[in-house]
Structure 1
Amino acid sequence: MSEVMRPMAFEQLVDWILTEKKKYGTVFGERHPYYADAKYNRIIFGRNLETPIGPAAGPNTQLTQNIVAAYYTGSRFFELKTVQVMDGDELAACINRPCIKADDECYNCEWSTELFVPQAMEEYIKAWFLLKVISKEFGLGAADGFQFNISVGYDLAGIQSEKIDNFLNTMKHAQDSKIFKSCKAYLLEHVDLFEKVTREDIEAISGDICNSVTISTLHGCPPQEIERIAMYLITEKGFHTFIKCNPTLLGYEYARKTMDDMGYDYVAFGDFHFKDDLQYSDAVPMLKRLMAVCQERNLEFGVKITNTFPVDVKQGELPSEEMYMSGKSLYPLSISVASMLAKDFDGALRISYSGGADYHNIKGIVDAGIWPVTMATTLLKPGGYDRISQIAPLLDEENVVFRGVDAEKTAKLVEDAKTNRYHVKSVKPLPSRKINREVPLIDCFIAPCKEGCPIHQDITTYLQLVGEGKYEEAMDVITEKNPLPFITGTICAHACMGKCTRNFYEDPVHIREMKKVAADNGYDALIAKLSAPAVTKEGKAAVVGGGPAGMAAAYFLRRAGMAVTLFEKKSALGGVVRHVIPEFRIPGTSIDKDAALLEKIGVEIRTNTEITSVEALKGEGYTNVVLAVGAYKPGNVRLEAGEAVNALKFLEEFKAKDGNLDLGKVVAVIGGGNTAMDTARAAKRTKGVEKVSLVYRRTKRYMPADEEELVMAVEDGVEFMELLAPVKAENGKLICKVMELGEPDASGRRGVNETEEIREIPADTVIAAVGEKVPEEFYRANGLNVNERGRAFANEDTCESSVAGVYVVGDGLGGPATVVEGIRDGLKAAEAIIGEKLVRDYDAKTEEAVIYERKGNLSDIRTDADESKRCLNCAAICENCVEVCPNRANISIRVPGLAKHQVIHVDYMCNECGNCKSFCPYSSAPYLDKFTLFADEADMENSKNQGFTVLDKESVTCKVRLLGEVTTWTKGEETRIPESLQKLMETVCAEYAYLLR
């Protein structure tokens, strides 16, 4: 595929905008127009500005359609993508692809427009005309309510070159340019296309496009060069001028400490940029000189904060050696620069802002007198340009006049940023948001939460029911696949939430909590209507082990009509959840309620019964046996001296004796998993214990524990002793070797290396939580084949062991697992025994308008009634790739005869930035893997994508590449092309002809 974007002709853009708006009510896919009110106007550079926000000089201001989409949703200040003397093919060859990664903090390895400078100028002038006419045609605001701001770089010689000089002159006064005349003539010739725009409106469009410039210089540019550039643009060209500053003004020590303290210690950068870049001591006097020069000429002057921050590629984030950091991690650095300048200039220096601005912080930035504000990273995330339509109203304020930057408010923003949960990095690396499947060409909409759940709970459905207060119905949906709603509603590891698209907005939907709400409110109605089904299946099943996996297997088997006996060697069901996990994590009453569901449907439960022989069970007439015996063999930690108490043994005693144990005053817990967190938290609650240390050979970031478990341990006062490897326990101390982190591997996980340093941790008791083992001896005694780790061989799909009719599920299958993984295993075994599928799917029916209203809107709602309203119903409409593409190169279309919206990729609008790859829930890149529309046969030849080019739209004749074969197809002909793809191509020709060049 070619990464070269091909700008659209002005007439195609006009046709696209007007046709799409008339047919579908959208503009370049955007559904949330912002209608400006003149009473909120501000003034800058002597011109009106309806909102003080817009896209930064980057991917969102490179093409005409990007600028139009941003304006439609509420942008009014456009920092056009930087131009420099190196452009077009020469510059594109320097950019590695993909070049953007924005799934959390953002990184990029591109910098200036990838178009030739004259092309870029044409894009900006085309956009200028389109914004003028749609402002009136769609009632979005006044024709003079927005401003374009040029961004130029990188040195004076380049800026003075004929190419850039012509760009500057034309963007300032474009009336005589060929492109200006062409756009104006086309609009005058086609004024009948508009309902509200008149000839007079078109004639009134001014050619005086830009009167302001932002100077963007390379890292390492000397202060003298920066000042010369500014003086040239001010005195020779007469521009209001902003100088873009770099975070390196802060100094290496401040930047490094800030990043480390906020959890970005893995972000690698050296001090050389800080030494080579403009120094703060040089910047202040330079800026004062330039302010004075501008005042003499009645021009406005300020700084643009900030440029992106150069960091090293260490974990394969992008195919480059260095990349530029932006977004949530750049904000604390950028706002710190703003604070320094606000203080040292007593607020008199104007500050234009970019650097992690988003919905969560922009009100504070603007209220401090810092505006205009431009954004990039937030627009590259799901919701895309539609996020602007939520941000713009936040800043609607009357009679705003710039009277300086409030240094005190800005300083407060700095301090808030360093602890703000939207900017502090998660303690643990983010889990993969993707599912292990390739994106299909058709019907790719999917709910990643459901796919991430081991039992594929119908999450969007029960969330909707909970939101409507239909708790009984929600419980029907939940218990269709999950017989343990209270246990999973309380302690589930919630892999679903790790996949939730809302992670890219602010926080995942709190799915587990909503399940608990359903259980609390719908349980009585559910259990009241349950009854034991008749025994309709031959044979009977024995389930050995009453933990979650065994409970699930028994439930599904009995519900399917088989007689089932559940054997549990202890006095009550629940397994580790009942007997080991502390009461402060989950009360026994919750487990009792789940156990009661089994009893109500007729599972025979025999507690205090230990089973040692599978053969004996078969002798009693049990035709199938499910072993859910857990991983109860104690793990061990090798110490040169002394012993450690087993964590599960401790937790069981802690629970049985309600914490009345003798551990001494100080306890050390070895381990970094969830059990270690439970152990440390329980030890903190043990009588007489004053201090608990958790010892692990890596850092928190590399502990296997779930983040919420780790955070709860921190909140409980557990002290984390990182980078320590236990050696021996003696004389009330745990002796450890100090470790150091090595270089990250391809996955980003860093190894550890021993040092010679020794550290002693006070410890009256040492507890080891290092993983439990499956009962190898039990399996061998019952004839089951095991591998070298003592784990029973079992069919992955059915959990059947090497002994026919004997199944192994839960922790006892592969070692300690989550509750919901145990339920999954129990269901697999039950379905294998019954010989049919035992659960069905429930699909939520949510109105399209409701779903689209949620997209692009960030929310902090945290009430039971409204939490479900944060769900984006991805199974109905996903479109992440559509929303995050700055160029609008992924298009959602409606295809008659197909159930839902279909996504196609438009080749000529794509520069292979790769942003859609980050947010597609599949392990795929839509720009490479979705069915692609090519502008012509040459473009198709230059790509490997499956897709088509239209040879004749009237007859619907297309050249098609599918499954490695290239054919020519005309509508109505016999073909091997699937009917769904035929319909898609027909629809493009008939309903979306504006996509065709």
Structure 2
Amino acid sequence: MSDIMHPISIDALLNWVLKEYKNESSIFGVRKFYKADTNKMISLFGEKMETPCGPAAGPHTQLAQNIIASYLTGSRFFEVKTVQIIDGEDLPVSKPCITAADECYNVEWSTELRVPQAYDEYVKGWFVLKLLSKELGLGNPDGFIFNMSVGYDLEGIKSPKIDKYITDMQDAEKTPIWQECKDVAYKYLSEFKQIDKEYIEAISPKVCRSITLSTLHGCPSDEIERITTYLLEEKGLNSFIKCNPTMLGYEYTRKTLDDLGFDYMVFDDHHFLEDLQFEDAVPMLKRLQALADSKNLSFGVKITNTFPVGIAEDELPGEEMYMSGRSLFPLSISLAKKLSDEFNGKLQISYSGGADVFNIKDIFDAGIWPITMATTLLKPGGYQRMNQVANLLTDSEYPKNVQVDLEKLSAIVEKAKTQARYKKSIKISESPKLKATVPLTNCYTAPCRSDGGCPINQDIPAYLRYVNEGNHLEALKVIVDKNPLPFITGTICAHPCMTKCTRQFYESSIQIREMKLKAAEHAYDELMASMEKPTPKKDAPKTAVVGGGPAGISAGYLLAREGMPVTVFEKADTIGGVCSQIVPEFRISMESVQKDVDMAKFMGTEFKTGKAAPSLEELRELGYTNVIYAIGAWKHGKLKLEVGETINSLDFLKANRENPAINPYGEKVVIVGGGNTAMDCARAATTLPDVKKVSVVYRRDKRNMPADEEELYLALEDGVEFLELLSPIKLENNVLTCEKMRLGERDASGRRKPVPTGEYTEVPADTVIAAVGEKVDTSFYESIGIQTNQYGKVVSNQETLETNLKDVYVIGDANLGPATIVEAIADATKAAKNICEIHNNHYEQTNINEDVAEVRNKRGILIPETSKCSDAGRCLECSTICESCMDVCPNRANIVVQVKGQPQIVHVDRMCNECGNCETFCPYASAPYKDKFTLFNTKEDFENSTNSGFYVIDPTTKECLVRLWNNIQTVKLTDQGSDIPKDIIELMDTMIANYDYCMEM
């Protein structure tokens, strides 16, 4: 495919708008339109706008359809994308050019179109907004403002190309595109109900009265002043100057980002030394303000340009990228405060830099406006996020003049330095991507329950909906259909589902695990009272399960539920394995474990405790046809020290669980390791009497620890000291000597390798606990004839988990290595399914909400912590509607096509510039702009691509050029016997019949 966008003609654009609205009540995928209060206006540049917000100069104002989508969702101030003398294919933009998973980075800075093309796009956008505002009653046709942006030096701005652009933006009446817009409007006049010829004739051609000067880094203050003087004096334009965070100084910026956890961002002081200096900026701004006043023009600053950082982890191609989003907000708002203080609140500030629904009201109420956004619009919900912002600002009181409230602004600055929202996670987040690749059709999926999300494919959206409705019994029924351990998994599950939750791109992942526990706690007694005991199957083969931990309990439950005779053997006195013997009581109580055990007992599972299980031969003699080994990884990992001995973590935790009030370990306890077991040890040690300090020593830093983020935070809250980048060497005389490490290149796990430095430090330690991982005792399996491999795991059929011994299975740790509880359940399910048929109720269909409109209404709505919305109610119900790739595409290049009532995603090649944003947010391990079925508008575009997709040769005969997985053929959709899959034929047929407007040039 090509990264060159092909603008849509005004004829095709208006046809698309009118047909899509008529057929689907949407325009470019936007379904919720913002209707302004036409009596509420705010004045700027001698113009008026209904809301003081809109898209920043960037991806959301590059094409006419982007501008239209922005207006429909509530934008009324448009910073159209920057133009400069270098344009089009001459502009060096690497692709992909955007990544916005958390903070945003980009490597593009001005329009990728030729300047005349960009001009046409802005005029088309302006004209269509004039039509839609009137026709759809969305607001006053004169209630929005366009602001142009130019760069980057005076010579370029004075060049004929840019000079013509500026002049024509001020008055478009004599330009060809203006006449073309009018002619097309007349052509479609019969389609309008509220528009007549007089209205079209009266549309103002004066697109822009204002301009923002966007200077690249290193532009000297005298050049900035010359350019702005020219724009004020020669062009008569109300002017803003973009100011960069570099004006804050290197030390302030570095410390602010470090304190907020963005210490990994790479930058030195060269931009801070080369860019406009604050002490030079203030007198310059005062001179320009005086000049603007003398010309009766508005003047102010735009905060901010994005902030330049180095590309250190291959985030994007190149050497330097520009940071924005929530990490930029503390810097941008600090610069606003610094400048406002100098001008006593009288300097007009146009604001961008991490603005979103969570802070925009505070910014506006402090007297800073207009406010533009980009990063928040690049995330799921996309343009629809603007709707919520616009409604929020409309509820505020609009100011009548420029006056920044310095006290309010100071409060925002302080809050930005301390609020959790602006702090980076203390550890690297797991990838939200699933393992599977996106299918060409039928791709909607809830990533929380899919492969790579929940190992047992629990029907998470279904039980979340029931919890939200307060129907906890139905929720619990859905849960136990596939999960025999609702209390254990509701308390200490590693919750991989939450790492895939799309809601994390709004505020935070839904607390899925907690919702499971809520259902269990509210409905357990009712469930037990309503369940019927399974009928035992006559002459069914007996199964012995060796090991009474989570895997063993699960296998017992699943088999007994089918009426199969099953006995679980546990050598300890209590059932539960690590849950009852190792994990500290403050993490999970025995009462919770026992409730899960009681469910298995109710189903008919027999438990035998207090002694080792019979041998395999003895089990055969006792009549057990099937044997499932569910023995955990109990073999101790070893920490090798040159001198001194350590205590094993499992031994420590077992002793602590049995006697939590006994402390034979001394005052200073050190735990070596960075996993969840290490955190359990550390937190348990803090509860021991007479312990004064508990430290965790790890050879990497917290960001690269394998422990769950919440476990790290809990340990910090309990007062645990983290000693990072230390590798233990020896323990003697109550001192642990460690070598200091540094982080090197990334290893196969994606974490950076610890590299020795040759420097050493000493850590006081009365006791050192080694939490360096446990292993499977393969010698046991080898002694009974079961094959093992060099990785310390049992060799088995991974579909059934049957070993080389017939009817002998291995599940949990022995199969996977030290595994999570939910992985153990998944293993138990595999083995049980091979022994008998497991009758799940298959609640997959319950995942689908029949009220699709209700689900779509959630898109783009961010929920503050103060909201009364339940956590389960935040679920976006992705199995019903995903559409993230459509949401996040600024150009609207991914569209929804209804095929026989089923929504499908089609990629429109001509509208894509390969920014890469849809790849970031597609739940699959895929990039929709490459991997979804693609519509090509020209044969040349088809031939320049490798995407699976089609080009319509003749819509009348439905002759198409089709590529499927590199196989190209020419077909007529009406022909029988085609080897093209039926769903693809139906998709193309629907596109030709109902979405022909997407194909027009």
TM range (shorter): over 0.9
Matched, 1:198 2:202: no
CA distance in 2, matches of 1:558, 1:204: 78
What is the Cα deviation at residue 837 of structure 1?
Answer: 6.9
CA distance in 1, matches of 2:538, 2:55: 65
Superposed CA offset, 1:800-836 (max 9, x none): 2222221111123332211101111111111122266
Moved more, 438-447 or 519-528: 519-528
> What is the 5 A alignment of 1:571-650?
571-611=573-613, 613-650=615-652
- Does the 8 A contact of 1:514 with 1:864 survive in 2? no
- Does the 8 A contact of 2:558 with 2:838 survive in 1? no
Q: Which residue is equivalent to 2:449? A: 450
CA change 1:488–1:862 in 2 (3 A) is farther
What is the Cα deviation at residue 723 of structure 1?
Answer: 1.0
CA distance in 1, matches of 2:539, 2:593: 29
Q: Which residue is equivalent to 2:149? A: 151
Q: Which residue is equivalent to 2:940? A: 938
> What is the 5 A alignment of 1:338-737?
338-396=336-394, 397-451=396-450, 452-528=453-529, 529-536=531-538, 538-611=540-613, 613-737=615-739
What SS class does the counterpart of residue 894 from structure 1 fall into? strand
What is the Cα deviation at residue 588 of structure 1?
Answer: 1.0
Q: Which residue is equivalent to 2:140? A: 142
Q: Which residue is equivalent to 1:992? A: 995
Q: Which residue is equivalent to 1:814? A: 816
Moved more, 826-835 or 436-445: 826-835
> What is the 5 A alignment of 1:907-986?
907-974=909-976, 975-986=978-989
What is the Cα deviation at residue 408 of structure 1?
Answer: 2.3
CA change 1:78–1:134 in 2 (3 A) is same
CA distance in 2, matches of 1:598, 1:733: 49
CA change 1:234–1:746 in 2 (3 A) is farther
CA distance in 1, matches of 2:742, 2:538: 62
Unaligned 5+ residue runs, structure 1?
A: none
Superposed CA offset, 1:625-665 (max 9, x none): 11111011111111111111111111111111133222221
Unaligned 5+ residue runs, structure 2?
A: none
What is the Cα deviation at residue 871 of structure 1?
Answer: 0.8
Superposed CA offset, 1:467-509 (max 9, x none): 1222221111111110000011111111001100001111111
Matched, 1:70 2:70: yes
Which of 776, 792, 799 is the equivalent residue of 1:774? 776
Matched, 1:241 2:245: no
Superposed CA offset, 1:269-290 (max 9, x none): 1221111111111111111111
> What is the 5 A alignment of 1:251-262?
251-262=249-260
CA distance in 1, matches of 2:417, 2:398: 32
- Does the 8 A contact of 2:548 with 2:576 survive in 1? yes
CA distance in 1, matches of 2:230, 2:747: 48
What is the Cα deviation at residue 612 of structure 1?
Answer: 5.8
What SS class does the counterpart of residue 982 from structure 1 fall into? helix
Superposed CA offset, 1:112-156 (max 9, x none): 101110110000001111001100111110011000000000111
> What is the 5 A alignment of 1:168-317?
168-317=166-315
What SS class does the counterpart of residue 78 from structure 2 fall into? strand
**What is the one-letter code of the residue matched to 1:274?**
F
- Does the 8 A contact of 2:462 with 2:843 survive in 1? no
Superposed CA offset, 1:827-854 (max 9, x none): 1111122266767343223110110110
TM-score (norm 1): 0.98
CA distance in 1, matches of 2:782, 2:415: 60
What is the Cα deviation at residue 88 of structure 1?
Answer: 1.2
CA change 1:399–1:467 in 2 (3 A) is closer
CA distance in 2, matches of 1:375, 1:809: 51
What SS class does the counterpart of residue 857 from structure 2 fall into? helix
What is the Cα deviation at residue 185 of structure 1?
Answer: 2.5
What is the Cα deviation at residue 688 of structure 1?
Answer: 1.4
CA distance in 1, matches of 2:240, 2:614: 79
**What is the one-letter code of the residue matched to 2:341?**
K
**What is the one-letter code of the residue matched to 1:872?**
L
- Does the 8 A contact of 1:249 with 1:280 survive in 2? yes
- Does the 8 A contact of 2:896 with 2:905 survive in 1? yes
**What is the one-letter code of the residue matched to 1:424?**
K
- Does the 8 A contact of 2:267 with 2:310 survive in 1? yes
What SS class does the counterpart of residue 26 from structure 2 fall into? coil
**What is the one-letter code of the residue matched to 2:454?**
C
**What is the one-letter code of the residue matched to 1:297?**
K
CA distance in 2, matches of 1:211, 1:864: 44
CA distance in 1, matches of 2:764, 2:559: 51
**What is the one-letter code of the residue matched to 1:500?**
C
- Does the 8 A contact of 2:792 with 2:817 survive in 1? no
TM-score (norm 2): 0.97
Superposed CA offset, 1:532-574 (max 9, x none): 3312463111000110011111111122222100001111111
CA distance in 2, matches of 1:863, 1:560: 44
Superposed CA offset, 1:341-361 (max 9, x none): 111211111111111111111
CA change 1:861–1:422 in 2 (3 A) is closer
CA distance in 1, matches of 2:799, 2:864: 40
Q: Percent identity?
A: 53
- Does the 8 A contact of 2:150 with 2:212 survive in 1? yes
Matched, 1:870 2:868: no
- Does the 8 A contact of 1:612 with 1:778 survive in 2? no
What SS class does the counterpart of residue 450 from structure 1 fall into? coil
What is the Cα deviation at residue 418 of structure 1?
Answer: 2.0
- Does the 8 A contact of 1:831 with 1:837 survive in 2? no
CA distance in 1, matches of 2:661, 2:40: 62
Moved more, 193-202 or 489-498: 193-202
- Does the 8 A contact of 1:537 with 1:562 survive in 2? no
- Does the 8 A contact of 2:348 with 2:402 survive in 1? no
- Does the 8 A contact of 1:774 with 1:813 survive in 2? no
- Does the 8 A contact of 1:315 with 1:745 survive in 2? no
CA distance in 1, matches of 2:632, 2:430: 26
- Does the 8 A contact of 1:41 with 1:398 survive in 2? no
- Does the 8 A contact of 1:233 with 1:239 survive in 2? yes
Matched, 1:31 2:34: no
CA distance in 2, matches of 1:862, 1:235: 49
Q: Which residue is equivalent to 1:901? A: 903
The alignment of Structure 1 onto Structure 2 pairs a total of residues equal to: 993
CA change 1:687–1:537 in 2 (3 A) is farther
CA distance in 2, matches of 1:420, 1:113: 35
> What is the 5 A alignment of 1:317-356?
317-356=315-354
CA distance in 2, matches of 1:704, 1:873: 29
Moved more, 657-666 or 169-178: 657-666
CA change 1:758–1:861 in 2 (3 A) is closer
CA distance in 1, matches of 2:15, 2:981: 30
CA distance in 1, matches of 2:945, 2:27: 28
CA distance in 1, matches of 2:715, 2:398: 50
- Does the 8 A contact of 2:240 with 2:301 survive in 1? yes
What is the Cα deviation at residue 789 of structure 1?
Answer: 3.7
Superposed CA offset, 1:161-199 (max 9, x none): 000000000000111111112212321343221011122
CA distance in 1, matches of 2:582, 2:437: 40
- Does the 8 A contact of 1:95 with 1:109 survive in 2? yes
What is the Cα deviation at residue 376 of structure 1?
Answer: 0.5
What is the Cα deviation at residue 746 of structure 1?
Answer: 8.5
What is the Cα deviation at residue 8 of structure 1?
Answer: 0.6
